[in-house]
Amino acid sequence: MDVGKAIRDLRLKAGYSQDKLVAQTGISRSQLYFIESGRCVPRIETIEKIGNVLQMKVSDVIIYAESNYPTED
């Protein structure tokens, strides 16, 4: 599952630029870039901050990621 790609999709669907999302979450632009590019896995607290801005629960973000970007075996 790729949470970063899911976050990018959800951010774009909600009409947020990276700059707007980082301004409202308090995370750094570089951190968001690393998350969305798959270079790091976000902590639950970070997913929660992003989810709050996008009006989603952490579980909704995870379910979206599992449904759209499943882990390949």
- Side-chain-side CA neighbours of 10 within 13 Å: the count stands at 27
CA distance linking residue 37 with residue 34, whole number of Å: 5
Query: In this structure, which amino acid lies at residue 63?
Result: I
The CATH code belonging to domain 3-68 is 1.10.260.40
pLDDT along the chain (73 residues), means of 10: 95 97 97 96 97 97 94 73
Name the residue ranges covered by the structural domains of the chain: 3-68
63 in Cβ contact with 56 (< 8 Å)? no
pTM score of the predicted model: 0.91
Contacts 24+ apart (CB under 8 A), 59-62: 61/3, 61/6, 61/7, 61/10, 62/1, 62/3
